[in-house]
Amino acid sequence: MERVNAWNTYDPGMLKSCMDLADDYKSFLDQGKTERECVDRFVNEAEENGYIELSEAIRKGRKLSAGDRVYSVCMNKSMVMFEIGTEPIENGINILGAHIDSPRLDVKQNPMYEDNEIAFLDTHYYGGIKKYQYVTIPLAIHGVIVKKSGETVILRVGEDEDDPVFFISDLLIHLSQEQLKKPGSTVVDGEALDLIIGSRPFTFGAEEEKGNEGSGKDAVKKAVLRILSENYGISEGDFESAELEIVPAGRSRDAGFDRSMVLGYGQDDRACAYPSFRAQVETHDLKRTSCTLLVDKEEIGSMGATGMKSRFFENALAEVMNLCGEYSELSMRRALANSCMLSSDVGAAYDPSYGGAFEKKNTSFLGRGMTISKYTGSRGKAGSNDANAEYIAHLRGIFEKESVCTQTAEVGKVDQGGGGTIAFIMALYGMNVIDCGVPVLSMHSPWEAISKADLYETYRGYKAFLRDASFTNY
């Protein structure tokens, strides 16, 4: 079965909506390069759209009823939003779940050192990356340093035009005979991913003290530490309680003469987090309660308090049911099992330059709309949530009614590799879950690409889902 190209289905009005959505999406990508930055932006926008903080509603003993909107944040890195519907929550809710962490390099806890008058920050990569893609590109530092006093210093260096950037060196081609014989996985070693952050043994404006500072052991490192102290009030020990992420520097851009694509960092999975959030705030007057989950740590197995495997979501739902006057352990279990979820995660777009890795009948293509993946996993579907046929049929009806362009896909050829998402974790409750999102070219690379039409179709699909999904097993 051949799928239509979504661009061919647009009238001028839809084309404009599609391009406008992508413009706002790019501003989101530029503002939200880390999970914390994404949560910040989402919280602000949620509050502008009438969402109130769940903990505040609890404190004030506020009762919730149809039309009310609440959100809850976990450790500044993950978030859940609800709009209460007219039906009892026990009958099930409609959930969109995306992740807002992306592959990157994390700064180690004792990161600073100097080697031959160059100062470095040592890193440990986060998530699946091709290490060789991170050398010789401009990099930015984003994150927080929390001082013993409890004060949080927010760092974001390398994004403004006049900011300095940072980089990781690579061996010059002239001397690379040995290096280039290595397989791609080791051509750049994980421990070689150290960020260059300075090379001058004294700081600007400190020339008068050059005698003391400009020579001796680790003069460059000391000079950088002095800048950090003057600009941010932080000392070397403060890296111990910091979360600093090294990401590609610079804004997302339109790609192609026709501006049909977006090239940008972190589109796995912000290409789905963004339309999930939009769908959540733009869908009103619902029968079933709507919910959007924006979680951390998916790229490293959904562990930790802010990952999908934590009880954060379940606890928030219990609190919401309580404020609706509906809570009991049994009602909550029923609610979870009766719920419908789209695991909003990206798919692998067919790459003509590497066509051999894909099986073309069951692959998503750039521009053919929202990708639906019944299963993910690898080596015989291992580790996959394999969605129920009855549920898929229900969703097909919803998407068709709204003329959403969809395509079905798995991640590449059988036995070629694979991947996972948060789908299987939510399926543990016995709810219906399927992976559903935007296809991405060069996934997990510093600059991933998507089609604006796929973003738009996914946004339309998510809205239709929140409004119309009503499938239950029981």
Q: Which is nearer to Mn ion, 198 or 248 (CB)?
A: 248
Residues 434-453 that bind Mn ion (CB under 5 A): none
* Residue 196 beta carbon to Mn ion: minimum distance, rounded to whole angstroms: 27
| 52's tokens | 């109130």
* Residue 313 beta carbon to Mn ion: minimum distance, rounded to whole angstroms: 17
DSSP state of 56: H
User: Which helix or strand (DSSP H or E) is residue 405 part of?
Assistant: none
Q: Is 101 in the site for Mn ion (CB under 5 A)?
A: no
Residue nearest to Mn ion (CB): 269
Q: Interacting stretch for Mn ion, rule CB under 5 A, among 83-91, 134-142, 326-334, 344-352?
A: 344-352
Q: Which is nearer to Mn ion, 90 or 269 (CB)?
A: 269
- According to DSSP, the β-strands at 69-74 and 78-83 are antiparallel
Q: Interacting stretch for Mn ion, rule CB under 5 A, among 13-21, 59-67, 168-176, 338-346?
A: 338-346
Q: Is 345 in the site for Mn ion (CB under 5 A)?
A: yes
ω before 40 within 30° of 0 (cis)? no
- 355: which residues sit within 8 A by CB, 6+ positions away? none
Q: Which is nearer to Mn ion, 57 or 346 (CB)?
A: 346
In angstroms, the CA 266 to CA 296 distance is 13
Q: Which of 340, 303, 335 is nearest to 316 (CA)?
A: 335
Helix (H, G, I), strand (E, B) or coil at 262: strand
Residue 132 half-sphere exposure toward CB, CA atoms < 13 A: 10
Q: Which of 121, 109, 32 is nearest to 77 (CA)?
A: 32
* Residue 207 beta carbon to Mn ion: minimum distance, rounded to whole angstroms: 48
Q: Interacting stretch for Mn ion, rule CB under 5 A, among 67-75, 226-234, 343-351, 466-474?
A: 343-351
Residues 247-276 that bind Mn ion (CB under 5 A): 268-269
Q: Roughly how many angstroms between the first and final C-alpha of the chain, as a whole number?
A: 33
Q: Which is nearer to Mn ion, 270 or 288 (CB)?
A: 270
Q: Which is nearer to Mn ion, 245 or 345 (CB)?
A: 345
How many residues comprise the chain? 474
* Residue 346 beta carbon to Mn ion: minimum distance, rounded to whole angstroms: 5
| 318's tokens | 């219990």
Helix (H, G, I), strand (E, B) or coil at 165: coil
* Residue 102 beta carbon to Mn ion: minimum distance, rounded to whole angstroms: 7
Hunting for tokens 């995306």 — which residue is that?
98
* Residue 6 beta carbon to Mn ion: minimum distance, rounded to whole angstroms: 21
Q: Is 83 in the site for Mn ion (CB under 5 A)?
A: no
**Site size for Mn ion, by CB under 5 A?**
3
What are the residues binding Mn ion (CB under 5 A)? 268-269, 345
